[in-house]
Amino acid sequence: MNKEHFSVTKLDKTFGATVRDVKLSKLTEGEVKELYSLWLRHSLLIFPDQHLSTIEQIEFAKLFGVMEFDLAPISNVRSDGSIRDPVDDDVVKSLRGNMEWHHDSTYMPIQAKGSVFTAHQVPEEGGETGWADMTAAYKALDPKMKDKIEGLSAYHSYVYSQAKYKHKPQEESEFSGYGFDVDPHPFRPLVKTHPETGRKSLLIGRHAYGIPGMSKKDSKALLDELNDFACQGDRVYHHSWTPGDAVIWDNRNLMHQASPWDLNEARVMYHSRIQGDASSESGLNYL
Ligand SMILES: [Fe+2]
């Protein structure tokens, strides 16, 4: 194992690092181990100038776990090259929703472990991806708030989070999506313990609603307060994409969002999603 040849530069944030002098399509076993431990340490790894093919992207993602799905375009461009309607198209409604902070797949029985994301075509302006560090956010909470939320849980639903975009996620739509709501909606603690680092983090985001024992209004107010507090300052990083960039993030302790862009302009990204461990990422009612 060669521990010296990667060039790792920490972001000026509570998390994240840029890794250079590495070729993701040609990793040795030793390099994979090293990258895995770097990933657990920094939660977000950014790899400039990789230009992975779709097959190389899937192969890379598989080094980090079992796949929830191999590859999905996150794009406002149809396969014939035309741009989707910026308002009425179901796929674009899902893109608009993803501009709010969230963890992936929390409305599914098992939330995602992590994701690989690559940039292929990016707009002139905007369209960055942001991540927010929920471990640092939990740590920074007032002790009274920590006491208040310890033991609280919320339901997670994609129908709930997409309702404001007048989007009803359903299998018949052109938006085939990456999973739909399940019945019952998964129930997840607001404070999650990371299965590999043992560190506590907030598990919140746009899919969460309905904390039992609280009115709808109070539950939303508490979740909004936590989201607002969590996603600010040096706990947040927005990455400005260059085609060829690849990233991998830990979905167990980071939230993410897309920044807005002119939806008349093309943005083509590819997303590979790594499945969570059933013993640690299942909803409490799916264990
Ligand atoms: Fe997402």
Contact 138, 202 (CB under 8 A): yes
Share of the chain above pLDDT 90, in %: 83
DSSP labels, 132-146 = EEHHHHHHHS-HHHH
- Give tens-digit pLDDT for 220-233: 999 999 999 999 99
**284 in any annotated domain:** no
Compute the distance between CA of residue 269 and CA of residue 168 in angstroms, rounded to an integer. 23
Least confident residue range of 20-29, 85-94, 245-254, 273-282: 85-94
135-148: b (≥16 Cβ within 10 Å) or e: bbbbeebeeeeeee
Q: Is residue 282 part of a domain?
A: no
The whole-angstrom separation of Cα 256 and Cα 99 is 8
Note the pLDDT tens digit of each residue in 124-164.
Answer: 999 999 999 999 999 999 999 999 999 999 999 998 988 88
Least confident piece of the model among 44-58, 80-94, 269-283 = 80-94
In the chain, the percentage of residues whose pLDDT exceeds 70 is 95
Q: How many CA atoms lie within 13 A of 68 on its CB side?
A: 26
Instruction: Detail the DSSP E strand segments found in 143-277.
Output: 153-156, 187-189, 191-193, 200-202, 208-209, 236-239, 246-250, 254-258, 268-275
Q: Does residue 79 form part of some domain?
A: yes
| 75 in a structural domain | yes
Closest among 133, 137, 114, 141 to 16, alpha carbons compared? 133
User: What local confidence, expressed as pLDDT, does residue 2 receive?
Assistant: 47
What pLDDT shows up at residue 74? 87
Distance 247 CA to ligand 1 centre (A): 13
- Is the model's pLDDT at 89 over the cut of 90? no
Distance CA 214, CA 208 (A): 14
- Produce one character per residue of 85-112: b if its CB has 16 or more CB atoms within 10 Å, e if not: eeeebbbbbbbbbbebbbbbbbbbbbbb
Domain of residue 69, CATH code: 3.60.130.10
Report the alpha-carbon distance of residue 32 to residue 97 in Å, rounded.
33
Over the stretch 175-197, which tens digit does the pLDDT of each residue have? 666 678 899 999 999 999 999 99
Dihedral sign for Cα atoms in the order 285, 182, 62, 45: negative
Mean model confidence pLDDT for the chain: 93
Distance 71 CA to ligand 1 centre (A): 13
Asked if residue 260 has pLDDT above 90, the reply is: yes
Encode pLDDT of 23-57 as tens digits: 999 999 999 999 999 999 999 999 999 999 999 99
Find the 98 Cα to ligand 1 centroid distance in Å. 6
Rg of the chain over Cα atoms, rounded to whole angstroms, equals 18
| Structural domain for 168, as ranges | 7-277
Q: How far apart are the first and last CA of the chain?
A: 38
User: Ligand 1 centre from 99 Cα, in Å?
Assistant: 9
Cα 59 to averaged position of ligand 1 atoms, centre (Å)? 20
pLDDT band at 1 (very low <50, low <70, confident <90, very high): very low
* pLDDT for the residue numbered 96: 84
Q: How many A from CA of 257 to the centre of ligand 1?
A: 7
Identify whether 283 is part of a domain.
no
Inter-residue contact 52 to 24 (CB < 8 Å):
yes
The partner residues of 230 in beta bridges, in order of sequence, read: none
50 Cα to the center of ligand 1, angstroms: 21
Cα angle 143, 146, 151; round to 5: 150
Cα–ligand 1 centroid distance for 256 (angstroms)? 6
Measured in Å, residue 179 CA sits from the centre of ligand 1 at 12
Is residue 220 in some structural domain?
yes
Number of domains in the chain: 1
Q: Is residue 285 part of a domain?
A: no
Q: Which residue has the higher pLDDT, 31 or 86?
A: 31
